[in-house]
């Protein structure tokens, strides 16, 4: 709608340049990178991030802490579905919605330093759908949803110098805190992609409004979610 994806304007040299110039630190949000042409709940969407720090309860003197970070590329949802803190924001701001049916997809990447095994990471990735649902999405027929999760723990697990390797893992009975962090951070990352944005006019004069901050604040107050 906003971009000319079928024009194949991104060439191999652009990809190589992006990889060569990648740096650490805070990630820009909104209409940047792959999020430039994205539309979320029929407002301008794009890239969003959020994270949580978890202190794992333990009986001993030391309490291990782990981080869960979420990055989204949000390009999905119909306007009436948008929900913020339980408030039907989308139903209250129906004007200038450009689509007659759902179109697009969302990519959600979950990163953690908690030592998790592959089957546990699959469980973590599935929880992204709950955070997505808290913003109103029902993952409609035309929405291609992709959830990925990885852990940076156990860095030497693939070293073949020894015939066997020992790896650490969080017990399944202690994973609820990680699930909670994933759901919360996913919801927040999607909302950040909406809030940290501006209106955009793209190809063929197609225009998409940004989520109006003042209207959203008014609605949060109306429904007693903010003062």
Mind listing the pLDDT tens digit for each residue in 205-217?
999 999 999 999 9
CA gap 118, 124 in Å, rounded: 10
Is 137 noted as a catalytic residue in this protein?
no
DSSP 141-162: TTEEEEEEEEE---TTTT-TTS
Among candidates 44, 48, 45, 12, which has minimal Cα distance to 28?
48
Q: What is the pTM of this model?
A: 0.93
* Catalytic pick among 103, 105, 129, 139: 105
CA gap 217, 165 in Å, rounded: 53
Average pLDDT, the chain: 94
Q: Which domains does the chain have, with CATH numbers?
A: 28-153+167-222 (3.60.70.12)
* Catalytic pick among 137, 143, 151, 196: 143
- For residue 96, give every residue at least 6 positions away whose Cβ sits within 8 Å of its Cβ, in sequence order, or none: 209
Is 145 noted as a catalytic residue in this protein?
yes
Is 209 noted as a catalytic residue in this protein?
no
Give the residue-averaged pLDDT of 96-124. Answer: 92
> Distances in Å between the alpha carbon of 155 and those of 35, 110, 113, 114, 159?
31, 17, 10, 12, 9
């Amino acid at each position: 709608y906003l971009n000319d994806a079928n024009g194949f304007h991104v060439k191999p040299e652009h990809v190589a340049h992006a990889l060569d110039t990648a740096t650490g630190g805070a990630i820009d949000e909104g209409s940047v990178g792959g999020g430039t042409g994205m539309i979320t709940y029929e407002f301008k969407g794009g890239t969003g991030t959020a994270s949580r720090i978890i202190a794992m309860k333990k009986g001993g003197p030391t309490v291990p802490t782990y981080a869960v970070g979420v990055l989204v590329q949000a390009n999905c949802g119909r306007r009436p579905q948008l929900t913020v803190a339980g408030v039907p924001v989308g139903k209250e701001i129906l004007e200038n919605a450009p689509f007659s049916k759902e179109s697009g997809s969302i990519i959600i990447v979950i990163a953690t330093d908690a030592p998790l095994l592959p089957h546990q990471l699959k469980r973590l990735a599935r929880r992204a759908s709950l955070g997505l649902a808290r913003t109103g999405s029902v993952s409609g027929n035309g929405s291609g949803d992709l959830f990925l999760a990885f852990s940076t723990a156990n860095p030497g697990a693939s070293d073949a110098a020894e015939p066997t390797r020992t790896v650490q893992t969080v017990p399944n009975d202690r994973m609820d805190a990680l699930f909670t962090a994933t759901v919360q951070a996913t919801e927040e990352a999607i909302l950040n992609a909406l809030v940290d944005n501006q209106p955009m006019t793209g190809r063929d004069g197609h225009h998409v409004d940004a989520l109006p901050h003042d209207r959203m604040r008014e609605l949060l107050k109306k429904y007693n979610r903010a003062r």
